[in-house]
Structures are given as structure tokens and as C-alpha cells.
Amino acid sequence: MIRVLVTHTRGSTPREAGAEMMVMDDSTIGTIGGGQLEYMAIDRARQMIARGEVVAHMNVPLGPEIGQCCGGRVELALTRTDKLPGRPDHPQVMIFGAGHVGRALSRAMSLLPLRPILIDQRAPEIAQSPGETRLTPLPEAEIRHAPYGTSHVILTHDHALDFLLAAEALRRMDAPYIGMIGSATKLAQFRRYARAQGLDTDRLTCPIGAGYSHDKRPEVIAAFTAAEVIGQLTKTVQRQTCDN
């Protein structure tokens, strides 16, 4: 098995340095961006497997000569290995409310490098929910005890519960994303509620998944909200990288 690692990039490239894929005789895991670059890397890796090579390097211009128009340049390190990489620790996202939108959001996030957890007080709703779930009479306690860096999306069946959970989430200064389903009216009401408790609502996104479409089908709201969350998390990682 060959590990293909993007070591350096210049200009426009399909993936960043650190992206990797594993190449076996008849399958692959991961991606370095697809297209002709990836085909070339897979071909070279399988040559290594056939020849018993241990290490190789590739320096590939992404131009007309390989039928790829990114315009940048990618350097790859190819290394024989017997170990598959461990699954990365995906950022945790707690979804409060296992109704139509909550279930759709859990499904949408399961396709992303995220760990969605669907939380509800109602056993029948949890029973028909996909993925990882938690049935609890005290959802606010889940926020208090959440691991550092957990995001929270709040869309329960009860406005009062939404307010309680959103306030609890805002007390967690480590949460990169806090979202609540609602309208401008609901947001105005929550701001009054939060001010009474000395909370700043600037970190709250409400309504969630807004600004893209007026379509209110659960799957559409879920798609835009998932994009919103992963976008915020990506920005957070980029800021931390620059700070370091």
C-alpha cells in the first residue's frame, strides 16, 4: 500500500498541503483532488507496488500538458506503508431537536467531516432518527458537558426550550458555531431574553441556513445549514493556523 501525500503547493491547486490518499492494488482511500493529477499519482503508486519501491516523489504542473487547468504546481511524496491512517477526530456538532429538519440535518452532516449528534427528549422522535443520537430529559446538560469546540444547532419543538438551550450555548465561549432556527421576530424576542441574563447574542446565527433560498423544505434548510456550519468551522481552523 502506498501513501500519497501533498507536501507542497504553488498557485491554484485542487487540494492543500497535507491532503493524502492511500493506494492499493485495486482500490483507493481518500483523495488529493481528483482529475489527471490523481490518476497520475495512482498510476505511479501502483508502479511502486509492482516494483517493490519504497519511496518516490512527483512534481506536477497543473497545466495543459496533463489536461488540467488549475495552473498551479503540486509536489507529492509517495511512501510504502502497511498501516492505514486512523480516522480523524471530526468536530462535534450537537443538533437539538429530532424533528424533520433535525433528522435531515443529521443526514446532511453525516456526509461531511463532522460528527453530528441528534439530541431530543422524545423517545418516538429519537427512534426514527439517523446516526448518533441521545435521548435525555435535560438537553441543556449536554451543552454544559460538551467537549471543547463543540458546535450547537438548536431547532426543537418548543420556543422556550430553544431559548434555554441557545442561552446555555452562548455561555460556552469555545463554541465555533451556535445556530437557532427561527425568524426575525423570534430573534428579537430571544435578544431581550438574553440581555436579561447578561448574554451577548452576536455569536448566535438565527435564522439558520438563511440568505440562500426561501425554500423551507427540511432537506433544503438542512443543506444550507450544513454548509453554514462547515464554512464557519473551516474559517475557525484557518484563523487558528494563521495565529500559530
Structural domain containing residue 152: 92-242
Say whether both 216 and 180 belong to one domain: yes
Confidence of residue 62 (pLDDT cuts 50, 70, 90): confident
Buried b (16+ CB within 10 A) or exposed e, 97-132: bbbebbbbbbbbbeebebbbbbbbbeeebbeebeee
d(CA 231, CA 225) in angstroms, rounded, equals 10
Q: For 5-48, write each residue's pLDDT tens digit.
A: 999 999 888 899 989 999 999 999 889 988 899 999 999 999 99
Percent of the chain with pLDDT over 70: 93
Does 86 reside within a domain?
no
All residues at 6 or more sequence positions from 84 whose CB lies less than 8 Å from its CB, including other chains: 1, 22, 29
Residue 244 or 38, more confident:
38
Say whether both 131 and 53 belong to one domain: no
d(CA 82, CA 2) in angstroms, rounded, equals 8
Number of domains in the chain: 2
Residue 180 identity (one-letter amino acid): M
Q: If DSSP codes are grouped into helix, strand and coil, which group holds residue 244?
A: coil
d(CA 81, CA 29) in angstroms, rounded, equals 13
177 burial via Cβ count (<10 Å: 0-12, 13-18, 19+): buried
The last residue of one of the domains, among 24, 57, 80, is: 80
Which of 194, 211, 213, 214 lies closest to 202, judged by CA?
194
Say whether both 23 and 101 belong to one domain: no
Say whether both 100 and 216 belong to one domain: yes
Say whether both 157 and 45 belong to one domain: no
pLDDT > 90? residue 242: no
Say whether both 70 and 106 belong to one domain: no
Say whether both 99 and 75 belong to one domain: no
Does 67 reside within a domain?
yes
CATH number of the domain encompassing residue 123: 3.40.50.720
Provide the pLDDT for residue 88.
65
Say whether both 37 and 151 belong to one domain: no
Does 155 reside within a domain?
yes
Does 87 reside within a domain?
no
Say whether both 143 and 198 belong to one domain: yes
Q: For 104-144, write each residue's pLDDT tens digit.
A: 999 999 999 999 999 999 999 999 998 999 999 999 999 99
Sheet holding 151-154, edge to edge: 132-135, 115-120, 92-96, 151-154, 178-180, 204-205
